[in-house]
Amino acid sequence: MKNEFDNKAKDYANGRPTYPEEILSKLKEMGIDKQSTVADIGAGTGLLTHMLCQLGCKVLAVEPNSEMINECKKYCSTNTNIEYICAPAERTQLKDHSIDVITIAQAFHWFDKQLCKSEFQRILKENSHVITIWNDLQEDSGFVKAYMNIIRSYEIKTTAGNSYFNPDREKFDFFGQDYIKTYYDNWQTVTEEEVICNATSVSYTPSKSDCNYDKFVQELRNLFLKYQENGKVTFHYKTEVCICQFI
């Protein structure tokens, strides 16, 4: 994971969607308040991290990629209740039994599950939870179907982002028991440049140094022109939120 987003961090920051506000309500229901410490592991550019800071708790942004964590610092610059740790999920550098909740947004598939299991158990307080969050893009419009066809046609490598795995089975095996799963609707209305950033932020699509990058971007521009209304198009996501505990 550390190197998969080299030269993609700015595009990730500018193109990826944030998360539904209902996640914060759920955390409040779980007792997260100003006395709590939340570790956002695989924090990336801080899309969820910034939201978590609204709870008033101490937020630890753990991210192994230096470019991503630099973007996170910019995005979360107005928050005073945040600490940045440049470290992988498998070796967070956090203190034993110091964390009330671990959040993982759009990153669980990157982790070494065997190493992370012992690491998460080490840093979590007794009976604490892990919350995994995933924005699942819905192919329910002509625009998104065509967009995903372009993404798939320009895959340049296999990463955790496009390899097959069963997420439900992975989580069940990881935690040793079932978990609570909830879905929320999430919408992202974007400009042409934001569509391009969304596409080029994907770990397995061409970056600027790739010979197919210009062709990739031109196809995205043509698609945007076909479907845009008043200079915008909309992505629809189903956001999956899983509240998990180790057995």
* Nearest C-alpha neighbor of 171 from the set 162, 181, 163, 161: 181
Our CA angle for 238, 12, 115, nearest 5°, is 80
pLDDT of 175 over the 70 cut? yes
- What's the pLDDT tens digit per position in 35-77? 999 999 999 999 999 999 999 999 999 999 999 999 999 999 9
- pLDDT, position 3: 60
Domains and CATH numbers, the chain: 9-137+158-186+238-244 (3.40.50.150)
Give the separation between CA 186 and CA 239, rounded to whole angstroms. 6
pTM for the model stands at 0.95
Section 100-128 average pLDDT: 97
- pLDDT, position 4: 62
- pLDDT, position 163: 85
Please answer whether residues 165 and 226 qualify as being in contact, where contact means their C-beta atoms are separated by less than 8 angstroms.
no
Full strand arrangement of the beta sheet holding 37-41: 82-85, 58-62, 37-41, 99-105, 124-137, 233-244, 180-190
